[in-house]
């Protein structure tokens, strides 16, 4: 597949609009025909040669080759995002449905350390804004996130109610898991262990979430500071437990709707195939069957649901291929891209 690759620094929300070209290859070769002059000599016996393939098979092979060549010449325009993700987690309160956990995506050209710190701080709803006291946040090669507070932290002024403590703990686990972490270590200066709550010391904490993958789209209006917040299926009565990326997307599309959430993949989307490669790249091939029934808000909700679902499978990046419009969207997830570097050649 030949592709035209373009650098793209996104401003969200985005609707991808691109075009493609195609060409055909129909070269044929005709061998010259040899003629033999008349002779009085007796002709030598003709030796029979074994033919491996019948003419019909040759024609079929030629036709197949032409078809493959035609497919390979179809060009896909590609948007290669060079900014990286930040995550936001919040537990919103709805008068009718109670607590609704939501996750949202934003992007930034900042380095990983800043994006980690900002993700935790923007998701911190504690009265004392505990994460603002952090002096450093980093994730190592063993997928351990290290939270470093000042040596004298806390100073006695930090206090949380039980509900506030639970929301804070949930946030730490969700954001850490989104960045691929398996464990959280907490430090006061160089010393392991932090007393954030007088009754709750944090030191080496495994990242644990309830079972479930995939995300639903809210079907009610939510008071969120972020566009297109999504609801984890593990937080609903319709949890998806499959360990197959493509199967999860099909289950999301087949979902008929819950009390306050719905499928992020409407019927106007035709899912062709999806998989996670060995190197962690998530691939999805799809097409839009009716453009008149599709808008920018649906497109972004669909893309974000795929991105977050791919993160549930620890995908490094997501490649969404719109076969109908011949567009490719390459979006970084756990992959940390340099927004100022030249994009790779494909």
Strand partners, 144: 183
CA atoms of 305 and 78, how far apart (whole Å): 20
pTM score above 0.85: no
Task: Kindly state the helix (H) or strand (E) to which residue 69 belongs, with its residue range.
Answer: helix 55-72
Instruction: Give the Å distances, CA to CA, from 232 to 102, 147, 213.
Output: 7, 25, 7
CA atoms of 135 and 305, how far apart (whole Å): 32
For the chain, the domains span 111-206, 211-332
Mean pLDDT per 10-residue interval, the chain, length 346 residues = 46 40 40 40 44 48 48 68 93 96 94 94 94 96 96 76 91 97 96 81 95 97 92 98 98 96 97 97 97 92 97 97 94 85 54
Strand partners, 330: 80, 319
SS3 23: coil
Residue 105's pLDDT is what?
95
User: b/e map of 91-101 (b: 16 or more CB within 10 Å)?
Assistant: bbeeeeeeebb
Give residues with Cβ within 8 angstroms of 316, minimum separation 6.
Answer: 279, 280, 281, 332, 333, 334, 335
93: tokens are 């309160």
Residue 160's pLDDT is what?
81
Phi, psi of 326 (to 5 degrees): 55, 55
Residue 342's pLDDT is what?
55
Residue 341's pLDDT is what?
60
322: tokens are 């719109």
């Amino acid at each position: 597949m030949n592709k035209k690759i373009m650098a793209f620094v996104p401003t969200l929300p985005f609707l991808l609009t691109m075009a493609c070209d195609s060409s055909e290859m129909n070269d044929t070769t005709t061998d010259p025909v040899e003629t033999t002059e008349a002779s009085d000599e007796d002709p030598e016996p003709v030796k029979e040669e074994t033919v491996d393939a019948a003419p019909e098979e040759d024609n079929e092979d030629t036709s197949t080759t032409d078809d493959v060549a035609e497919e390979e010449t179809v060009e896909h325009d590609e948007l290669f995002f060079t900014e990286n993700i930040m995550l936001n987690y919040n537990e919103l309160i709805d008068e009718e449905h109670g607590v609704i956990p939501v996750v949202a995506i934003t992007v930034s050209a900042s380095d990983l350390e800043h994006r980690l710190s900002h993700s935790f701080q923007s998701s911190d709803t504690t009265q004392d804004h505990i994460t603002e006291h952090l002096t450093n946040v980093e994730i190592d090669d063993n997928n351990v996130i290290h939270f470093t507070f000042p040596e004298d932290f806390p100073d006695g002024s930090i206090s949380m109610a039980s509900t506030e403590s639970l929301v804070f703990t949930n946030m730490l686990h969700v954001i850490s898991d989104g960045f691929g972490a398996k464990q959280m270590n907490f430090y006061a200066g160089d010393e392991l262990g932090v007393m954030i709550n007088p009754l709750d010391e944090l030191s080496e904490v495994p990242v644990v979430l309830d079972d479930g993958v995939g995300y639903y789209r809210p079907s009610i209006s939510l008071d969120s500071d972020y566009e297109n917040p999504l609801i984890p299926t593990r937080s609903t009565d319709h949890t998806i437990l499959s360990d197959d990326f493509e199967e999860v997307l099909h289950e999301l599309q087949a979902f008929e709707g819950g009390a306050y959430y719905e499928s992020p993949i409407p019927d106007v989307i035709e899912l062709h195939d999806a998989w996670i490669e060995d190197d962690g790249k998530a691939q999805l091939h799809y097409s839009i069957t009716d453009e008149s029934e599709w808008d920018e808000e649906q497109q972004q909700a669909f893309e974000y649901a795929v991105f977050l679902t791919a993160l549930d499978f620890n995908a490094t990046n997501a490649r969404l291929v719109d076969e109908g419009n011949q567009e490719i969207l390459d979006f970084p997830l756990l992959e940390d891209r340099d927004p100022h570097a030249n994009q790779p050649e494909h």
